[in-house]
Amino acid sequence: MLHEQVFLKESFPRIEFIWAAHNFPLEELAALSAELNEFSVRLPLIGSFSAGKSSLINFLLDESLLSIAVNPETCLPTELRFADDELLILHHPAQEAVPLDRAALKAQEFGKVESGSWVEVATPSPVLARLDGMTLVDMPGWESGIEQHAEAIDNYLERSSAYCIVVSVDEGGLKDSLKKIIEELAINKKPMMLVLTKCDKKTPEDVASVLTQVKDEIEAISGTPLLSVSTVSRKTKSSGDTTEGWACALQQLLPLNEVFFHQRVGMRAERLIDTLVRHLKQLLNSENLTIEELKSKQALLRQQQDQLLQDLQRTEQQLQEQVTSIATFICEQFSSRLKAQLESLASSLLHQGDINGIVGASLRMAYAMGMEERLKPLISSKLSQLDRFAEVSFNELNFSHDFQLGGKGSGMFQDVLSGLLPLALAALTRIPALMIFAPILKSILGSLFDNATEEMAKREQREEARQYVLTTLIPDCLALVRAPITAALSKSIELVMGQVKIEADRNISHLQLSLQQLSEQLTAEQETDAKNKVRYQGEQAELVVLQTKLKEFARG
């Protein structure tokens, strides 16, 4: 388990006690509690059926656990993690989980499976124990299948700190299907490591040549260096940049996993602790506010809450107004990618090849580029502009707080906005593209093959096929995808702004609760006020220590 994860699990009971003691809603802690207990960083292994991914994992674990006689029809994503007691389970999205034994796992006797099914393997392997809770994912291999491509991205992108590219030395270089997924990973700024397998089948000189070629190809596509490069042979455990090879490379991922955990879970814990610290500051009443002053602040806060809601609505409207231009950018990227693959499309058209894979991968990457290069920067810019209210609308409240969005606002508004921008960008996870576009791709294929493919396949006229791609296929694709792209972008904006509004309301509600409790405390004028302050000071100091520790994790 990761260091920050252990620290937060140990600290959680005390955080929960203080949270409940001050009447904050317990459901806000439920998601954090679940993440702390269940969080595991995934490392998907992706490559062709012949790359040797299952053999690589068996070799790492030093036992024959996974099948290496892969049947593409029954092969499922298999997640492997450490556990004190062994557990093998077949999970289905719409059915009850099914227990497995080692024999069924090895023989891939899964019975009837459906799209989205996967296998969980928890085992007391000392090798997995040294990975601090990281889960290895043996992904099904593929050649050009868009469904496997989508599964590797959509199901694991938001749960993985990196990807492991597995290539057999026999392949001699990167296959086109692998290049497509590497490009999409690069668009999403996901780090990658490389393992070259079956190196005992070639001479050391040939291995070095293939390794250099594959490494250069990946880095040319991604534009960034690989995290690590390893070679693996069946005759020896491993060799490569370090004597420990891939096992050592996995250890080098652990600091990256710590950063990933902090971004996904630690920052959420920070926001909750920030809420408690601000709350206790108000209860300590360092400003010596009177009841009348508190009531005035409560009224002003309600007024500004309405103003903030109106501004968020205007921001959402401004974002929605940009959807058309972003959709146009995506369509232009889509068209450009299809034209760049004119020969492949023409060949697939003539020989009834995998047009689905070519069109689908192009559409996914165009959409991903639109999200990363257009929508995310736009949302970041618009939400950052809300900082101007920190100097105008909220400075009368003068609530001290260290968190700064833009570095120059008053504390109270920063309390409301704190964490909104990273929360918004985190919420902007891609709606699985395959789910949106699969019906469109199906209609494209049906139209193509019904109208032209059989005739052209008989006549073998490549130039006619090229012209058909340029004058019919690409325009038809663009016409069919524009509306779903526009709808997907609009839905993403609604999702993000909905999360922003929820978080803003949550922060304001917490501030109102602080003011209300302080007002009740002053109204009661109980003799225990001094004792309460001692308690609050102790709790505040305790939480500040937790804050400091979490910031240390953030700095790495």
* Terminal CA-CA length for the chain: 16
Measuring CA to CA, which residue among 59, 17, 13 is closest to residue 37?
13
Q: What is the pLDDT of residue 100?
A: 94
Between CA 122 and CA 82 the distance in angstroms is 5
Q: What is the pLDDT of residue 360?
A: 81
* DSSP-derived secondary structure letter, 165: E
Between CA 469 and CA 87 the distance in angstroms is 51
Between CA 273 and CA 266 the distance in angstroms is 11
Q: Tokens standing for 410?
A: 């008053």
Q: Which domains, and CATH codes, for the chain?
A: 42-257 (3.40.50.300), 289-434+449-528 (no CATH)
Q: Tokens standing for 533?
A: 């302050």
Q: What is the pLDDT of residue 420?
A: 63
Q: Tokens standing for 297?
A: 């602040």
Pairing, β 135-138 against β 78-82? antiparallel
Q: What is the pLDDT of residue 413?
A: 45
- Residue by residue, pLDDT tens for the chain (556 residues) are 889 999 999 999 999 999 999 999 898 899 899 989 889 999 999 998 888 898 899 989 888 888 887 666 557 899 999 999 999 999 998 889 999 999 999 888 888 888 788 999 999 999 999 998 999 999 987 654 556 666 767 788 888 999 999 999 999 899 888 898 899 899 888 999 999 998 888 898 999 999 999 999 999 999 999 999 999 886 554 444 333 688 889 999 999 999 999 988 998 899 899 889 988 888 886 667 777 777 787 787 777 778 888 888 999 999 999 999 999 999 999 999 999 999 888 888 777 777 777 888 888 889 989 988 999 889 888 887 765 443 333 333 332 222 222 333 344 445 555 556 666 666 665 444 445 555 555 555 555 555 555 555 555 677 888 888 898 889 988 988 898 899 889 988 998 888 888 888 888 888 788 878 877 777 765 456 677 788 888 999 999 999 998 888 887 6
* DSSP-derived secondary structure letter, 159: G
Q: What is the pLDDT of residue 90?
A: 95
Between CA 149 and CA 365 the distance in angstroms is 11
What is the DSSP code string of 393-412? Answer: TSTTT-------SSSSS-HH
Question: What is the maximal distance between C-alpha atoms in the chain?
Answer: 97
Q: Residue 195: which H helix or E strand, with range?
A: strand 192-197
Between CA 95 and CA 91 the distance in angstroms is 8
Q: How many CA atoms lie within 13 A of 464 on its CB side?
A: 11
Q: Residue 99: which H helix or E strand, with range?
A: strand 98-99
Q: What is the pLDDT of residue 391?
A: 36
